[in-house]
């Protein structure tokens, strides 16, 4: 099949006038793209964008009032079919993860070229995620196990079962030991994880991928 000359509509939310107008100009000039709107604040975007329903929204993070992440959260509810790409100077883990959790499908740094931005728009519109390799590494690393705080083999085993919601007796039976021993191991785990409840242990285990 030969590529349909389908135009991708995109909108811009960016408080810096220069950047905003440059993006609008690029979207207007390049074949295959159309700029359906540009806004200087999240508040304006939230009231107007759901009407325009662009395919893709380019979003700055640092905005006056609602920041880009809050804005995306609100927009996602009203326009779940649209895709969002963060376009920001911030490259810290916090900003990246918060953006992705809020619903962004792409994350570009502002030194990206116009061509890269347009390519990113095309990518997310085709169902991909537009993240640069270094951002991707952050994301991928978050899947990998963190340094376990010296849990013994047995303790890891017990922790795994705690995470499954098993109780003393169930764990004891599975490991062929007494419930008292299970308690002893759990005490060890709590000490090493600096928690004192199952919920706390499960949270640490899942969040830090100790399991």
For binding to DNA (CB under 7 A), which residues are involved? Answer: 150, 152-155, 167-169, 175, 177-178, 180-181, 183-188, 190, 196-198
Q: How far is the CB of 157 from DNA (least distance, A)?
A: 8
Q: How far is the CB of 163 from DNA (least distance, A)?
A: 12
| Angle of helix 198-207 versus helix 179-193 axis, rounded to 10 | 60
Report how far residue 34's alpha carbon sits from residue 28's, in angstroms, rounded to the nearest whole number: 5
Q: How far is the CB of 159 from its own copies (least distance, A)?
A: 11
CA-to-CA separations, 1 to 4, 5, 119, 138, in angstroms, rounded: 8, 12, 20, 36
CA-to-CA separations, 31 to 1, 35, 58, in angstroms, rounded: 19, 11, 18
Helix (H, G, I), strand (E, B) or coil at 81: coil
Least Cα distance to 172 among 184, 188, 187, 163 occurs for 184
State the binding partner of 209 from DNA, its own copies, none, CB within 5 to 8 A by kind.
its own copies
Q: How far is the CB of 103 from DNA (least distance, A)?
A: 24
End-to-end CA gap in the chain:
46
The contact pattern for its own copies, residues 37-76, with x = CB under 8 A and - = no contact, is ----------------------------------------
Which residues form the interface with its own copies (CB under 8 A)? 97, 100-105, 123-124, 126-134, 136-137, 139-141, 143-145, 162-167, 195-200, 202-203, 206-207, 209
């Amino acid at each position: 099949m030969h590529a349909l000359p389908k135009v991708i509509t995109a909108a811009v939310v960016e408080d810096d006038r220069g950047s905003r107008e440059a993006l609008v100009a690029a979207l207007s000039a390049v074949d295959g793209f159309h700029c359906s709107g540009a806004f200087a604040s999240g508040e304006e975007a939230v009231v107007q964008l759901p009407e325009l329903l662009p395919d893709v929204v380019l979003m700055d993070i640092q905005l006056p009032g609602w920041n880009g992440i809050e804005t995306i959260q609100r927009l996602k509810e009203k326009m779940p079919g649209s895709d969002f790409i963060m376009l920001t100077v911030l490259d810290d883990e916090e900003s990246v993860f918060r953006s992705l959790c809020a619903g962004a499908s792409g994350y570009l740094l502002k030194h990206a070229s116009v061509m890269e931005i347009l390519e990113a728009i095309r990518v997310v519109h085709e169902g991909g995620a537009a993240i640069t390799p270094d951002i991707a590494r952050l994301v991928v690393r978050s899947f990998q196990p963190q340094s376990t705080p010296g849990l013994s083999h047995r303790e890891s085993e017990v922790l795994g079962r705690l995470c499954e919601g098993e109780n003393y007796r169930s764990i004891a039976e599975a490991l062929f030991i007494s419930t008292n021993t299970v308690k002893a191991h759990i005490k060890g785990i709590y000490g090493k994880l600096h928690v004192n409840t199952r919920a706390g242990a499960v949270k640490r285990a899942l969040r830090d991928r100790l399991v």
